[in-house]
């Protein structure tokens, strides 16, 4: 059921893994690493893999509910505006059961959040046992936007890389599988997507005039992403570098990353903790 479809020549987990020395500026955002299929075949494959993901995710939930399994999965989506984070949430994660999903988007911190350590709001949003947590932006904003806009001194943000690594290690040791995806679009593709948001009234809600200010800071963001990948791609929580100019590819790839993570947990349906035959007999008699 969860074997990698033959249209994949390489496992997304390995082909997308960030490798030391890799330059953010050199990422081919239009590429489809490890995949030899075409866009035309994507919807059918996506539907098939959505179903495989959904079954595994339900199993994770079932084990948390009925088998005392404390494990969870956390999908971390980071990317510039229009990279397609929302599309992943809708078209990939959305195939799962809402009961077992804890979605959280991180925006500009509220006054209350600002009064705490930056990881406070992150800890509050972690997935409980059996759940798939989804971070739409994350603690990494505290070494991205915060750094690019000098919201705090370098002496404050610089130690955060080590702190984040230690934080994630703690989560992994406590049973959370972390799937980190850094999503990259080209400047041209971003321009197209922002233009579309301006053209379509049904997309105005996604547009923020501030997005253009961020766009002007592209080189600074690239440098911040470079450092982020260099410093926080660890063995316990590696980064995946996802080219996102082709949405259909990005969605297929994240679906496989989730399937791989769930498969590695060797889940099965929790056995009944009651006598099935006796219950059948009781029910028949009622």
- Interface residues with Mg ion (CB under 5 A)? 81
Cβ-based nearer residue to ligand AMP, 107 or 154:
107
**Contacts made by residues 225-230, CB under 8 angstroms, sequence distance 24+:** 225/24, 225/144, 225/182, 225/184, 226/23, 226/24, 226/25, 227/143, 227/161, 228/78, 228/140, 228/143, 228/144, 228/161, 228/182, 229/18, 229/22, 229/24, 229/182, 230/20
Taking CB atoms, the residue at the shortest distance from Mg ion is 81
The minimum distance between CB 128 and ligand AMP, in angstroms, equals: 23
**Contacts made by residues 166-170, CB under 8 angstroms, sequence distance 24+:** 167/119, 167/122, 167/139, 168/232, 168/234, 168/236, 168/237, 169/234, 169/236, 169/237
Cβ-based nearer residue to ligand AMP, 33 or 109:
109
Tell me which of Mg ion, ligand AMP, none is bound by residue 260, counting a contact when its beta carbon lies within the kind-specific cut-off of 5 to 8 angstroms.
none
Q: How many secondary structure helices (H) and strands (E) does the chain include?
A: 13, 5
The minimum distance between CB 267 and ligand AMP, in angstroms, equals: 31
Tell me which of Mg ion, ligand AMP, none is bound by residue 107, counting a contact when its beta carbon lies within the kind-specific cut-off of 5 to 8 angstroms.
ligand AMP
The minimum distance between CB 260 and Mg ion, in angstroms, equals: 28
Torsion-angle region of 84 (φ positive above 0: left; ψ -120 to 50: alpha; else: beta): left
> Using CA atoms, how far apart are residues 190 and 242, in angstroms rounded to an integer?
15
The minimum distance between CB 19 and ligand AMP, in angstroms, equals: 27
Which residues make up the interface to ligand AMP (CB under 6 A)?
Answer: 81, 105-109, 137, 141-142, 145-146
> Using CA atoms, how far apart are residues 118 and 48, in angstroms rounded to an integer?
39
Tell me which of ligand AMP, Mg ion, none is bound by residue 126, counting a contact when its beta carbon lies within the kind-specific cut-off of 5 to 8 angstroms.
none
Nearest residue to 177 via CA among 134, 105, 241, 237: 237
Taking CB atoms, the residue at the shortest distance from ligand AMP is 141
SS3 category, 77: strand
Cβ-based nearer residue to ligand AMP, 142 or 256:
142
Cβ-based nearer residue to Mg ion, 81 or 141:
81
Tell me which of ligand AMP, Mg ion, none is bound by residue 137, counting a contact when its beta carbon lies within the kind-specific cut-off of 5 to 8 angstroms.
ligand AMP
How far are the Cα atoms of 16, 133, 232, 251 from residue 73, in angstroms, in the given order? Answer: 19, 6, 18, 18
Tell me which of ligand AMP, Mg ion, none is bound by residue 109, counting a contact when its beta carbon lies within the kind-specific cut-off of 5 to 8 angstroms.
ligand AMP
The minimum distance between CB 87 and ligand AMP, in angstroms, equals: 13
Tell me which of Mg ion, ligand AMP, none is bound by residue 5, counting a contact when its beta carbon lies within the kind-specific cut-off of 5 to 8 angstroms.
none
Cβ-based nearer residue to ligand AMP, 9 or 208:
208
Cβ-based nearer residue to Mg ion, 81 or 256:
81
Cβ-based nearer residue to Mg ion, 210 or 219:
210
The minimum distance between CB 205 and ligand AMP, in angstroms, equals: 10
> Using CA atoms, how far apart are residues 247 and 146, in angstroms rounded to an integer?
28
The minimum distance between CB 148 and ligand AMP, in angstroms, equals: 9
């Amino acid at each position: 059921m969860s074997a990698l479809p033959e249209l994949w020549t390489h496992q997304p987990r390995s082909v997308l893994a960030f490798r030391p020395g890799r330059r953010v500026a050199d990422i081919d955002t239009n590429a489809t690493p490890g995949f030899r299929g075409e866009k035309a075949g994507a919807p059918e494959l996506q539907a098939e893999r959505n179903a495989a993901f959904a079954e595994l995710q339900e199993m994770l939930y079932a084990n948390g509910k009925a088998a005392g399994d404390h494990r969870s999965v956390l999908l971390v989506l980071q990317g510039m505006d229009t990279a397609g984070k929302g599309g992943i949430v809708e078209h990939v994660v959305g195939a799962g059961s809402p009961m077992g999903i804890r979605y959280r988007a991180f925006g500009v911190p509220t006054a209350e959040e600002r009064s705490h350590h930056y990881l406070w709001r992150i800890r509050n949003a972690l997935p409980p046992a059996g759940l798939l947590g989804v971070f739409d932006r994350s603690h990494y904003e505290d070494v991205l936007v915060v750094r690019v806009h000098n919201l705090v001194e370098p002496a404050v943000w610089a130690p955060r890389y080590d702190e984040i690594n230690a934080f994630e290690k703690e989560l992994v040791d406590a049973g959370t599988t972390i799937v980190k995806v850094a999503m990259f679009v080209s400047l041209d593709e971003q321009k197209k997507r922002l233009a579309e948001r301006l053209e379509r009234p049904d997309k105005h809600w996604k547009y923020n005039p501030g997005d253009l200010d961020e766009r002007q800071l592209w080189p600074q963001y690239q440098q911040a992403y470079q450092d982020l990948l260099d410093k926080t791609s660890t063995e316990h929580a590696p980064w995946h570098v996802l080219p996102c100019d082709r949405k259909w590819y990005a969605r297929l790839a994240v679906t496989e990353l989730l399937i791989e993570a769930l498969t590695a947990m060797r889940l099965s349906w929790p056995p009944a903790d009651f006598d099935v035959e006796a219950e059948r007999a009781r029910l028949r008699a009622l």
